[in-house]
Amino acid sequence: MAGKLFIVPTPVGNLDDMTFRAVETLKEADLILAEDTRTSGVLLKHFGIETPMRSHHKFNEHETSARVAEQVEGGMTVALISDAGTPGISDPGFMLSRECRRRGLPVECLPGATAFVPALVDSGLPTDRFVFEGFLPPKKGRATRLAELAGEQRTVVIYESPKRLPRTLRQLADVFGTERPAAVCREISKLHETIHRDTLGELAGYFEVNNPKGEIVIVIEGCGRAARPKSSGTERPDRDETF
């Protein structure tokens, strides 16, 4: 009898965001596949999870997905986690899930944390219709993709690294227009979580002189939305301006 693949979201920041169901699933699994076993080891130790763990990341998932699917086919219950958030959302997971489904094996994704949802809701921008872009192409195809997104009428959500953030915001301001409302969300669910709401032009200028740290989500208002008053970005009493 075949086993099952569970895709298990883990906290993007505060460990208290872990669900009871996620903890029990990881405890009951035969094997946990982790993006980085050192990072996930901290999480497992915190919740007293002693299930064996093996690496499964973007550099080896092409080679390991078929072997793991064979283990599930043979009756093993496997839980897949990433360093933070939901596997498959800008993290490894799609290839293994696809291989298991191709073989007719049961796959179940638990609901849980992912960084772009709280960033989108907290941005103050329209949430009724949005497009999640993930990470932009670093070089080839980047200009073309930015031009396509500039005409997107839905709210646009992008992931970015702190090192590339100033350059990306400047490019977005150049292509989307300096007056396009946007928000930069940093360190979601962590101690120094901050959100800056302003126009792309103002945000680009701010982060060119204030070096950001941590995980970044950029949320941009869609093309053609009614203009809204700019915010000073000081609405949140817990805003941390130290980078």
At residue 218 the predicted structure's pLDDT band, cuts being 50, 70 and 90, is: very high
For residues 224 and 90, what is the distance between their CA atoms, to the nearest angstrom? Answer: 28
Spatial CA neighbour of 76 closest among 48, 96, 46: 96
- The confidence band for 171, taking pLDDT boundaries of 50, 70 and 90, is very high
Q: What percent of the chain has pLDDT over 90?
A: 82
**Residue 225: predicted pLDDT:** 57
For the chain, what is the mean pLDDT?
91
- Comparing 60-64, 150-154, 161-165, 181-185, the range with the smallest average pLDDT is 60-64
pLDDT 10s digits, 138-152: 889 999 999 999 999
C-alpha distance across the termini of the chain, in Å: 53
The answer to whether 4-109 and 116-220 have equal CATH topology is: no
Q: Give the fold, CATH level 3, of 116-220.
A: 3.30.950
Q: How far is CA 54 from CA 20, 37, 72, in A?
A: 22, 7, 14
CATH of region 4-109: 3.40.1010.10
- Locus of tokens 């969300």: 185
The more confidently predicted of residues 236 and 19 is 19
Report the interhelical angle of 61-73 vs 94-102 (nearest 10°): 40
Going from N- to C-terminal start, the domains of the chain cover 4-109, 116-220
**The pTM is what?**
0.86
Segments in the chain forming alpha helices (H): 20-28, 37-46, 61-73, 94-102, 116-122, 142-150, 165-176, 200-209
Neighbours of 194 (CB within 10 A): 20
The pairing of strands 31-34 and 77-81 is: parallel
pLDDT digits (tens, 9 = 90+) for 23-82: 999 999 999 999 999 999 999 999 999 999 999 988 888 889 999 999 999 999 999 999
